């Protein structure tokens, strides 16, 4: 009888862990940029403490944070968001963008983009929210030459469908990136 319980215990499995990358780019094609393209460096994104954990976030009742146990970001969100924004900015034929990387210093660039993420999650009501403040400065000055706030709220997410949540969040990042691209001189 004891052997039966052991076998049953071994037969139960935990759900497989899924790892997600945030993609701000909708195009799989690498765009060629003219030699005179504006170069932009996307700094490491400032992320609130509740978003620094690897689990995707759902807000319940607007106040309770739930982290997905088996649906995780494949890279730290502060780096992944910078990469996704740089990819989306580079879709613009006049902009060649680079993202923060802890591996080395940024390449030569004309402008810097700073982003302070405030909200980035799904809710138990099926809403998906991105709220961020961003600014653009020249590479030789930290003074902002333009700034903005982006708040995008989309419905239609089924709580627990994390691959869909990541897809919607990626679309929101792309939309924010297009707003930033329009602000870059």
pLDDT on residue 147: 97
pTM of the model: 0.88
Asked whether 168 and 157 are in contact (CB, 8 A), the reply is yes
pLDDT on residue 71: 98
Average pLDDT over residues 82-99: 94
pLDDT band at 37; cut points 50, 70, 90: confident
User: Which CATH code fits 33-183?
Assistant: 3.40.50.10610
Q: Which of 13-22, 32-41, 129-138 bottoms out in mean pLDDT, i.e. has the lowest?
A: 32-41
Asked whether the predicted pLDDT for residue 81 surpasses 60, the reply is yes
Average pLDDT over residues 35-48: 93
């Amino acid at each position: 009888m004891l052997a039966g319980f052991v076998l049953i215990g071994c037969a139960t499995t935990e759900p497989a862990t899924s790892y997600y990358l945030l993609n701000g780019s909708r195009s799989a094609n690498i765009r060629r940029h003219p030699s005179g393209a504006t170069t932009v460096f996307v700094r490491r994104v400032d992320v609130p403490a509740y978003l620094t954990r690897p689990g995707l976030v759902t807000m319940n009742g607007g106040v309770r944070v739930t982290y997905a146990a088996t649906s995780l970001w494949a890279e730290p969100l502060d780096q992944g968001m910078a990469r996704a924004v740089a990819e989306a900015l580079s879709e613009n034929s006049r902009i060649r963008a680079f993202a923060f990387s802890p591996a080395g210093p940024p390449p030569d660039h004309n402008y810097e983009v700073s982003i302070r993420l405030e909200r980035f999650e799904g809710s138990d009501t099926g809403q998906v929210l991105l709220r961020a403040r961003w600014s653009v400065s020249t590479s030789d000055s930290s003074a902002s030459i333009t700034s903005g706030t982006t708040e995008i709220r989309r419905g239609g997410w089924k709580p627990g469908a994390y691959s869909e949540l990541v897809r919607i969040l990626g679309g929101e990042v792309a939309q924010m990136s297009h707003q930033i691209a329009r602000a870059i001189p």
